[in-house]
Amino acid sequence: MFPLIRDPYQVLGIQRGATEDEIKKAYRKKAKECHPDMHPDDPDATQKMNEVNEAYDMLMHPEKYRGSQIPWQNGQSGTQGDPFQGTNPFYTYTTSGAQGWNPFGDFFGGSPFYTTPPVQDEPGDSPQLQAVVTALQRRDYRLAMQILTGMPQEQRTARWHYLMALVHEGSRNPGSAQIEIRRAIELDPNNLVYRQVLERYTHAAEPYAQRSHGSYRQVIDPRMLIGTFCLPMLFCRFGFCCC
Amino acid sequence: MVISVFGYIRPYMPALSEADQKRYRAHYCGLCRTLYTRFGLKGQAFLNYDMTFLSMLLASLYEPAETLRTASCVPHPVRRHEEVISPASDYAADMTILLAYFKACDDRQDEKKASGWATTRLLGEAFRNVSAQYPNQTVHISECMQQIRKAETATDTQPEAIAAFSGEILAAIFPWKPDDFWARDLARFGSLLGQYVYWLDAVVDDRHDLKHHCYNPLHVLGVHAQDMHPVLLQNISQAAELFETWPLVQDLDILRNIVYQGVWQAYNQVLRKEGVPVDP
């Protein structure tokens, strides 16, 4: 991986140890200063904006840059190899042409930065399940899904549901992954691996519960109306009474 | 119905300060005004909370120049109120029309509703203009809907596949600028939120669908409303995790209120109606 910049703190104009809020505010300030729309006559404006974006990305997603040549991390260059196989993950700002991610084409393709835990063949795996395991190891979630959904109902064992959970997890369908792993546990309640996966999912949602202080479980506001579309002249959702 | 715009993505007003309630309303009314300006009365008919959220989120992420005006309107002729208008509300208005048109096509085709026919005629020209300006979004949603129809008519389709395709509809809408640094993140956020809405709508429609023998993914899975809490939590918590990495400062309290509390109101209402105790 070859980042555009060497020191994200310097690019954003902040000190090492800055909090997340400080990083975000610094980004906002730099984005206002550097945005190409503010400098239509500056040929370097796009490059500067990309550097600001990259600096922000480095500080907010340091896991993406492990193993890359970034001297600012602990003052040393990365030596662990490039987990992203030399591809540039940046979705850089350009002034023309769409680049990079096609949402539909990426469906079931998963993210290059998000990997499911290692999965291995098990004794008794059918050739199709072995092919699914191989596809999962290569992060080819589309192929894994295709093989699994092509298997008849009678072959959809606990193992099938477990592998489907991993496919959904890799494809960023976490609710569906939850459904599948619970089905796997129903069919094989003593399987510790399946329970560990469920535990991992539950643990991953804890920051959300902490941020909301658990309040999300109680909120109901009868004042705002749920409904399908309706003419605002007759039925603005802020009610007749606020005239 | 496959188009995932049901009004679930809205704030929990009692937890907002008065200033933030006023600010949220200004965005909502700003979107209404924008729909009227761009599409006339027929555009306003499709005003909804979900696209208000989109407008606010994009305005917070990109901070485009906004205009704040004070005005009255037909439903509120006496008390003047604030309206926030910006290029983000323009985009949200355009996406409102796109989704409304596709929803009408879905109604027309699958449910043979007369309203579907009427709406596609009403919005035809507006849709053509918007789709010419946003071909990526148009093609993506159209393909998703075809996949959903194919999945729904197949004999052994799993609801999870339909959930994923439904998520992709919002994944198409949320990225404002396709060649942008934030496009991938916004698409993923949209996908997670869209899946949340799909499952939530299944919960809200559970009883009705059971009574009227309509398809409902909960019936296929053999689960009930109270079983869906972890599924909803997984989707919204991952969306929130992504949301928290963005440099949002403007209207952050309102946006957090929506993501952490507001989106749960419909689900909690269902549980309360069914007499299911809620954990503290």
State ipTM: 0.90
Question: Which of the residue ranges A6-15, A209-218, B228-237, B254-263 would you say has the lowest mean pLDDT?
Answer: A209-218
Best residue of A99, A168, A223, A236 to probe chain B, by most B CBs closer than 10 Å: A236
What are the pLDDT digits (tens) for B75-116?
777 778 899 999 999 999 999 999 999 988 888 876 666 777
Please give the model's pTM, rounded to 2 decimal places: 0.86
Gap between the terminal Cα atoms of chain B: 34
Give SS3 for A113.
coil
What are the pLDDT digits (tens) for A180-228?
999 999 999 999 999 999 999 999 999 999 988 877 777 777 665 443 3
Burial of B190 (0-12, 13-18, 19+ CB in 10 A): buried
More confident residue, A144 or A95: A144
In which band, very low, low, confident or very high, does the pLDDT at A32 lie, cut at 50, 70 and 90?
confident
In which band, very low, low, confident or very high, does the pLDDT at B254 lie, cut at 50, 70 and 90?
very high
Q: Does the beta carbon of B172 lie under 8 angstroms from any beta carbon of chain A?
A: yes
Query: Which chain B residues are Cβ-neighbours of A232 within 8 angstroms?
Result: 32, 44-45, 47, 75
Contact B184, B216 (CB under 8 A): no
Query: Which chain A residues are Cβ-neighbours of B262 within 8 angstroms?
Result: 219
Q: CB-CB: which of A24, A224, A227 is closest to B247?
A: A24
Separation between Cα atoms, residue B8 and residue B265, nearest integer Å: 8
Give the closest-approach CA distance of A84 to chain B in angstroms. Answer: 17
A243 pLDDT exceeds 50? no
Query: Which chain B residues are Cβ-neighbours of A169 within 8 angstroms?
Result: none
Give SS3 for B193.
helix
More confident residue, B205 or A231: B205
In this prediction, residue A72 carries a pLDDT of: 55
Give the closest-approach CA distance of A78 to chain B in angstroms. Answer: 24
In whole angstroms, how far apart are CA A189 and each of A182, A184, B226?
9, 8, 21
Look at A92 and B161 and tell me if their CB atoms are within 8 Å. no
Q: Does the beta carbon of B86 lie under 8 angstroms from any beta carbon of chain A?
A: no
Query: Which chain A residues are Cβ-neighbours of B15 within 8 angstroms?
Result: 215, 219
Contact A30, A15 (CB under 8 A): no
Q: B69 pairs with which residues across the strands? A: B83
Sign of CA dihedral A146, A148, A151, A153: negative
A105 pLDDT exceeds 50? no
Look at B188 and A173 and tell me if their CB atoms are within 8 Å. no
More confident residue, A133 or B79: A133
Determine the average pLDDT of the residues in B61-75.
Answer: 86
Q: CB-CB: which of B45, B63, B163 is closest to A229?
A: B45
Q: What are phi and psi of B244, to 5 degrees?
A: -70, -15
Q: How many CB atoms lie within 10 A of CB A44?
A: 11
What are the pLDDT digits (tens) for B128-147?
999 999 999 999 999 998 88
Question: What's chain B's average pLDDT?
Answer: 90
Q: Does the beta carbon of A87 lie under 8 angstroms from any beta carbon of chain B?
A: no
Separation between Cα atoms, residue A131 and residue A148, nearest integer Å: 10
Q: A54 pairs with which residues across the strands? A: none
Look at B45 and A232 and tell me if their CB atoms are within 8 Å. yes
- Chain B (19-38) residues lying within 8 Å, Cβ to Cβ, of chain A: 25, 28, 32
Give SS3 for A192.
helix
Instruction: Provide the token pair at B148.
Output: 């959903």
Query: Which chain A residues are Cβ-neighbours of B156 within 8 angstroms?
Result: 153
Rounded to the nearest angstrom, the gap between the alpha carbon of residue A238 and the centroid of all alpha carbons in its chain is 35
In this prediction, residue B6 carries a pLDDT of: 72
Share of chain B above pLDDT 90, in %: 66
Give SS3 for B49.
helix
Q: How many CB atoms lie within 10 A of CB B64?
A: 15
Separation between Cα atoms, residue A205 and residue A202, nearest integer Å: 5
CA nearest neighbour of B202 among B182, B218, B213: B218
In whole angstroms, how far apart are CA A113 and each of A116, B23, B87, B157?
10, 37, 32, 29
Look at B261 and A232 and tell me if their CB atoms are within 8 Å. no
B122 CB-near residues (< 8 Å, 6+ apart) = B42
